[in-house]
């Protein structure tokens, strides 16, 4: 499978990225990346540090501009769209690190996530507090003072309480205790079961492959392997990611 070959061209493609290139100033960090995620599909993006995984996520959600290629989401070309417009179109990006507003309370963080929702906001909040009861107990607490795991729950709740079409989960398990990693995968699995497409960026390669239908491996900004997740054997992961990350 070559670099530019698409992962999967389903009849109902939700997100299609074609020949994407991204620069940070003078440094180019993505080269000719092509991916395809069908409705209800899950794609794991693997790669070592600096491979361009987060850049791919940021380019798709409009945070960084692309300098080549095309991004089509839900039948619309969103290549030049602002992150705000992309979010409103139904794509949620949970960024790497703690994707919460540290200076706002838990409740205010959740309210910010609901600014684009047209339905009952109270119901959405209730859903978030039911999924993660600890957030209900700490609703008046500043998000910046929560523990790492609680902040990640808040980040997940911001996506779970609304109904997106596609979620990008960027290194959500990073720095979390194993038990909390289970919570993260369980939560994202819940989204998948509800019909939400997922683009998962992970360093726990084997867990991500167990979760996703399709996978790509990024290396130095280019797609070096792409295919079905269950076809990515240990040997391949070792070749591209090294022993540590493939574990």
The footprint of other proteins (CB under 8 A) covers: 2-3, 23-29, 31-32, 50, 54, 58, 61-64, 82-84, 87-88, 92-93, 95-104, 108, 111-113, 115-116, 158, 219-222, 224
Shortest CB 169 distance to other proteins, Å: 13
Phi/psi for 226 (5° steps) reads -150, 145
User: Which residues, at least 6 apart from 207, have a Cβ–Cβ distance to it below 8 Å?
Assistant: 173, 181, 185
d(CA 113, CA 110): 5
Query: Rounded to whole angstroms, what are the CA distances from 106 to 152, 190, 223?
Result: 12, 22, 38
- Reduced to 3 states (helix: H, G, I; strand: E, B; else coil), residue 10 is coil
Closer residue to other proteins in complex, CB, 8/101:
101
Shortest CB 210 distance to other proteins, Å: 26
Closer residue to other proteins in complex, CB, 3/207:
3
Task: Write out the DSSP string of 74-116.
Answer: TTEE-TT--HHHHHHTTEEEE-SS--S-TTSBHHHHHHHHTTT
Among residues 88, 51, 37, the alpha carbon closest in space to that of 196 is found at 37
User: Which residues, at least 6 apart from 179, have a Cβ–Cβ distance to it below 8 Å?
Assistant: none
User: Which residues, at least 6 apart from 187, have a Cβ–Cβ distance to it below 8 Å?
Assistant: 131, 156, 160
Closer residue to other proteins in complex, CB, 43/59:
59
Shortest CB 101 distance to other proteins, Å: 4
Query: Rounded to whole angstroms, what are the CA distances from 45 to 64, 105, 174?
Result: 18, 32, 15
Closer residue to other proteins in complex, CB, 117/230:
117
Phi/psi for 32 (5° steps) reads 50, 55
Closer residue to other proteins in complex, CB, 38/99:
99
Shortest CB 35 distance to other proteins, Å: 17
Closer residue to other proteins in complex, CB, 113/128:
113
Shortest CB 11 distance to other proteins, Å: 29
Closer residue to other proteins in complex, CB, 21/39:
21
Shortest CB 10 distance to other proteins, Å: 25
Shortest CB 158 distance to other proteins, Å: 8
């Amino acid at each position: 499978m070559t670099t530019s070959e698409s992962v999967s061209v389903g009849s109902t493609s939700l997100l299609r990225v074609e020949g994407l290139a991204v620069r940070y100033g003078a440094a180019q960090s993505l080269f000719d990346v092509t991916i395809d995620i069908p409705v209800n599909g899950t794609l794991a993006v693997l790669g070592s540090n600096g491979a361009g995984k987060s850049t791919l996520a940021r380019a798709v959600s409009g945070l960084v501009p692309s300098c080549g290629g095309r991004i089509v989401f839900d039948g619309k070309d969103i290549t030049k769209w602002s992150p705000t417009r992309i979010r409103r179109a139904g794509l949620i990006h949970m960024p790497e690190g703690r994707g919460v507003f540290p200076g706002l309370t838990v409740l205010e963080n959740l309210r910010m996530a609901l600014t684009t929702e047209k339905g009952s906001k109270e119901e959405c909040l209730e859903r978030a507090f039911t999924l993660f009861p600890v957030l209900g107990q700490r609703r008046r607490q500043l998000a910046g003072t929560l523990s790492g795991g609680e902040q990640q729950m808040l980040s997940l709740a911001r996506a779970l309480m609304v109904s997106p079409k596609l979620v990008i989960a960027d290194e959500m398990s990073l720095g979390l205790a194993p038990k909390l990693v289970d919570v993260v995968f369980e939560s994202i699995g819940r989204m998948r079961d509800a019909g939400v497409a997922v683009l998962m960026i992970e360093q726990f390669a084997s867990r991500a492959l167990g979760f996703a239908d399709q996978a790509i491996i990024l290396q130095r900004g280019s797609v070096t392997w792409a295919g079905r997740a269950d076809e990515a054997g240990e040997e391949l992961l070792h070749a591209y990611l090294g022993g540590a990350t493939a574990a």
